[in-house]
Amino acid sequence: MQSKLSDIELIVQTLSGDQSAYACLVKRHQRFVFTLALRFAKNREDAEEIAQDCFIKAYRSLASFKQESKFSTWLYTIVYTTAMTAMRKKRVDTPSIDDEETHIQIENTSSGYDVNNAENKSRSFYVDQAISQLTPDDATIITLFYKGEQSLEEIAQTLGIEANSVKVKLFRARQRLKEKLERNLKHEVKELI
Amino acid sequence: MNNIEEKLWEYIDGACSAKEREAIDLLIAQDETYRQKYLDLLALNREIAAMEMDEPSMAFTYNVMETIRADYAKKPLKAAIDNRIIKAIAGFFVFTIAALLIFVLVNINWSAGHTVVMPALKLPALKVFLSGSVVKGFLFFDVVLLLFLFDGFLRKRRFVKHS
């Protein structure tokens, strides 16, 4: 029954003390929040910890959600800042989207490769692989745009930058994704030959 | 080339104006290189849009809700009490004191003389309570209390150091 309610209706129920309504909100958004956290953490354990932390933070400050934006936009802002803070704490290098020289290339990711597996690999596998090789900023923008159903303005709000900057960053991120995809596919073809 | 790609991405995202859209439509129809580039980007766009989202562990929601429940249970009583209750209690006292004050002021006989005659006070014999054994007991209690507080202080310091 609750699963049919909108985010706002569930928030109202949560604020009136119904914790099961919040559980419903968590279930609804957990996949995307976890995917977004994974763009930063690169391993499932850390990503799950970040995602969990985000939902707890969101619960604590739910009363301050003013409903001026979508709940998802507000939640993704929490995810972005929490993931950035967590990564800074772990001292993992998260280079800026504009800093191409510091860009870390993850090469030779297809170890343990065999021909039968390659035949079974779908294009989506290569897209996932290429996204995981992007910087967290690039991967986040692409994920927010394609999977978060966020407009450029909403992404700008989440990342705390101008909508025009988002447009430029999205263009560059897609270009880099395309390059990675082409490089990975070339690598696979070479191994096949 | 970048400019072409940028325009094509805008076209694919539906972010360009009607005029630009018309121009790009024409270019795609007439220019083979442009059309090929458009088809490549369109295919990439479809592939990115089709990517799967990752799934957290089965116990994810349960873990979140359990942490929230534990967090809520740990909340100090001060934070858990509704502010309206505190305000109601404060209001009751303010009202009672104000009513009492008004009653007293109304019932004062202002025409009475200004010489105040204090009733004779009979103080209790305090010397009885200050015998040697009472003082000793009081000092012993003080020492125990002091040691207890000092122990608490040392424990707190050790805990802060370890964490």
Q: Tell me what the pLDDT averaged over chain B comes to.
A: 84
Between B19 and B108, the more confident residue is: B19
Confidence of residue B3 (pLDDT cuts 50, 70, 90): confident
Domain positions in chain B are: 2-49, 132-163
Output the CA torsion sign for B112, B115, B118, B119. Answer: negative
Q: What is the pLDDT along chain A (193 residues), one digit of tens a residue?
A: 666 788 899 998 998 888 899 999 999 999 999 999 998 887 899 999 999 999 999 999 888 888 888 898 999 999 999 998 888 887 655 555 544 444 444 444 443 334 444 444 567 788 888 888 899 889 999 999 988 888 888 899 888 889 889 999 999 999 999 999 888 888 776 665 5
Distances (CA, A) of B137 to A79, A81, A172, B115, B122: 61, 60, 81, 46, 28
Nearest CA in chain B to A21: B65
Q: What is the ipTM of this complex?
A: 0.73
Which residue ranges does chain A devote to CATH 1.10.1740.10? 1-92
Task: Using an 8 Å CB-CB cutoff, list chain A residues near B9.
Answer: 170-171, 174
Measured in whole angstroms, the distance separating CA B102 from the mean position of its chain's CA atoms is 41
State how far the Cα of B52 lies from the Cα of A123, in Å rounded to an integer: 12
A34, B65: Cβ pair inside 8 Å?
no
The dihedral through the CA atoms of A148, A153, A159, A163 has a sign that is: positive
**Cβ atoms of A174 and A98 closer than 8 Å:** no
Residue B69 CB contacts under 8 Å (≥ 6 apart), including other chains: A19
Q: Would you say A141 and A76 are in contact if contact means Cβ atoms under 8 Å apart?
A: no
Q: Which whole-number Å values give the CA distances from A114 to A109, A188, B17, B111, in the listed order?
A: 13, 10, 48, 111
B1 vs A175: CA distance, rounded Å? 12
> Which of A31, A146, A175 is the closest to B51 by Cβ?
A146
- For residue B51, give the nearest of A59, A128, A178 by CB distance: A128
Residue in chain A closest to B51 (alpha carbons) equals: A124
CATH topology of domain A1-92: Rna Polymerase Sigma Factor; Chain: A (1.10.1740)
Helix ranges (DSSP H) in B15-124: 18-30, 32-49, 60-74, 77-80, 83-107
pLDDT in tens, B54-103: 889 999 999 999 999 888 776 666 666 778 888 999 999 999 999 999 99
Q: Does B70 touch chain A (CB under 8 A)?
A: no
B68 touches chain A (CB under 8 A): yes
Q: Which residues of B125-134 are buried (b: 16+ CB within 10 A; e: fewer)?
A: eeeeeeeeee
How would you class A165 by CB atoms within 10 Å of its CB: exposed for 0-12, middle for 13-18, buried for 19 or more? middle
pLDDT of the residue at B15 = 82
Is the CATH number of domain A96-193 3.40.630.10? no
Distance CA B152, CA B150 (A): 5
